[in-house]
Amino acid sequence: MHAAGTQTARGRVGTFSAVKEEGFGYKEARHLLLRAGFGGTYEQIHTLARWGPERAVDHLVGYGEIPNETDLGSAFLDDIIRPLSRTERQELTRARQMGDEDTVDRYRKERQKRQRQDRGQMRDIQRAWLTWMVQTARPLEEKMTLFWHGHFATSFRNVEDSWHMYSQNQMLRKNAMGNFGELLLGIVRDPAMLKYLNNNQNRKGSPNENFGRELLELFSLGEGNYGERDIKEAARTLTGYTFRDNDFYFNHNQHDKGNKRVLGAVGNYDGDALVKIILRQEACALFVCLKLYKFFVRDIPMDLSVVDLVTRKVLLQMAMMLRKGGYEIGPVVRKLLMSEHFYDSINMGTKIKSPCELLIGSVRSLGVPVRDIGVVSEAMDLMGQSLFLPPSVKGWDGGRNWINTSTLFVRQNTLIYLLTGALPTRPGFLRDSSYFDPLALVPSLNTPVESDSSDELIVRELMELTLGGGDESMVRSVVDGAVQGGTMRESEAVVRALVLLTSMPEYQLC
């Protein structure tokens, strides 16, 4: 189904070696910003193009150098959901024994109140993250955090503790471009994940294999690189890995202290030791690189044997680099983003944008106002991507899975909302009236009126910004639809042109 890597007409696909300075212009810089960030304005694209591939990629990957102003979490509470204190527990138990329904009821109401409050906080955190994606000067940091959120998919639905979700997000952000071993270690000790995959019920003598299975299958090795026995034994190493309130807690009494035989090793292992054993497996680096490749380059099957030779070679080189580099992620991503392969025509403008890429990218590249972040996050939900609420532990499948007739309408209509303030659900007079000035988007709009920027030139430039190009017949259609008796110099006309351009199927691609 997916466009598996195939040889191009030229008979070869760009290799892993670095793209040449002269092979890096506007198109390539735009591609880099879309994939390693959330797209950019006309000026940003040109600046990166002028810098050349090395400086451009280093600027994005080396985001640690860029000052980071916002502390996402200063406003969030860590104790909305908290365990009952000893006194409270005693009072409740006593009330239950005595049949004191009023007290039991009071506790129930208090719990429900806190759960409501916590759902509200989760919504606030979700919106704060989206807002931060729009504002950050380090787009790749958020992009990578999003990648890991999809990789170590955890959902608030089952975790039911917004602070745990938030803490996990911070852990992922901190290690986003760091070391995969650290991330894996972070995740086996992460309260949200331990709750999500029922590891708090994984006890000596009565193991729950949920976490053990996903750890091997989805987080590190991939199907086919372990046996059922490994899962059972991995689950034993993870017994007693749980949390107390907001912190990881290793429950010695629940930990199985016997010998385990897992992935060819034998010993009295715990979860931390299991992580080290996993990292020794050759399959691990390749699996992580496949996921990175799918995220940044192209949707390919997870089965290497059906991937074209050049892509396979790139993947093997990435995996080798990751392993030899002690699982440091940054150098691999840097090399990938700088590679000839990354800028091959089969990899440019061919990937279906995630809802997040679509919306955040539109705001960042067109400068449209966010208007109502609640509407934006609800729209993302309708498109199938709610942050902190992935559909399952497998994360978001992406690719063509994002698209059907109903999600396509939501995608187009949300762009219309951002551009015009009109919501399909609200009558016209209730439209959001935040000001959007599209008259500085492209150079031809920036010139004095008496200059001879034709309507076609303006649309052509808008088309390059939004779609990366297009043919003359599209230019004509857009001019016809947008001008409506005036000229392309009027902001209404530019907005109409943008509505048409962002409604084009190509706008869903990056």
Partner 1 sequence: MSNHLNPGDMKAYTRRSFLQHSSLFASAALTVPAFLQSSALALPRAMTGLSSIAGVDEDRILVVIQLSGGNDGLNTLVPFGDDGYRRVRSRIALSADEVLKLNRNGGLGLHPSMGGFKGLYDEGMCAIVQGVGYPNPNRSHFASMDIWHTADTNGTGDGWLGKYVDSQCCGYGSGTPGAQTALNQAQNDPPPPPPPPLIAIGKTAPLALHGRTMMPVAIESADMYQWTGDKMGKGMVKAYNRSIEERSEADTASGADDNKSFLVRTAMDAQVSSKKIRNAVNEKSLVQYPNSSLAKQLSMVASMIRAGMPTRVFYVSHGSFDTHANQGGAQGTHARLLKQLSEAVGAFYKDMKAQGNDGRVLSMCFSEFGRRVGQNGSGGTDHGTAAPMFLFGPMVEPGLHARYPSLTSLDNGDLKYTVDFRQVYAEVLDDWLGASSREVLGRGYKHLRVLKR
The residues binding partner 1 (CB under 8 A) are 3, 101-102, 104-105, 108, 157-158, 160, 197-198, 210, 214, 350-352, 381-382, 384, 391-394, 397, 399-409, 412-413, 416, 420, 422, 424-425, 428, 473-474, 477-478, 480-482, 484, 496, 499-500, 503-506, 508-509
CB of 42 to partner 1, least distance (A): 23
Reading the block at residue 134, the tokens are 């729009």
Rounded to an integer, what distance in angstroms lies between the CA atom of residue 199 and that of residue 401? 30
- DSSP-derived letter for residue 254 is G
Smallest separation, CB 118 to partner 1 (Å) = 13
Q: Which is nearer to partner 1, 322 or 478 (CB)?
A: 478
Amino acid of residue 503: S
In the chain, what's the furthest Cα-to-Cα distance?
A: 88
User: Can you list the positions of beta strands (E) in 317-406?
Assistant: none
Closest CB to partner 1 among 128 and 422?
422
DSSP string covering 156-177, please? HHHH--HHHHHHHHHHHHHTTT
Q: Which is nearer to partner 1, 326 or 505 (CB)?
A: 505
Structure tokens at 324: 């030899």
Is the CB of 442 or the CB of 478 nearer to partner 1? 478
Answer whether 71's CB lies under 8 Å from 136's CB. Answer: no
Angle at 210 between CA 150 and CA 295, to 5 degrees: 15
Residue whose CB is less far from partner 1, 64 or 481: 481
- CA neighbor of 192 nearest in space, from 217, 157, 219: 157
Beta bridge partners of 244: 247
Residues 6+ apart with CB under 8 A from 281: 220, 221, 225, 263
Could you tell me which of 200, 176, 196 has the C-alpha nearest to residue 186? Answer: 176
Instruction: Kindly state the smallest distance separating residue 407's Cβ from partner 1, in Å.
Output: 6
Which C-beta is closer to partner 1: that of 170 or that of 404? 404
Q: Which two tokens stand for residue 5?
A: 């890597």
For the record, the structure tokens of 72 come out as 């996402």
CA distances from 190 to 218, 243, 332 (A): 16, 8, 25
Question: Min. distance of Cβ 104 from partner 1 in angstroms?
Answer: 7
Q: Which is nearer to partner 1, 1 or 449 (CB)?
A: 1
Tell me the residue type at 85: S
CB nearer to partner 1: pick between 368 and 478? 478
Phi, psi of 57 (to 5 degrees): -65, -40
Kindly state the smallest distance separating residue 97's Cβ from partner 1, in Å: 14
Q: Which residue type does 73 have?
A: G
Min. distance of Cβ 229 from partner 1 in angstroms? 19
Residue 358: what residue type? L
Contact present, 118 and 388 (Cβ < 8 Å): no
- Return the number of the residue (104 or 457) whose C-beta is nearest partner 1: 104
3-state secondary structure 126-141: HHHHHHHHHHCCCHHH
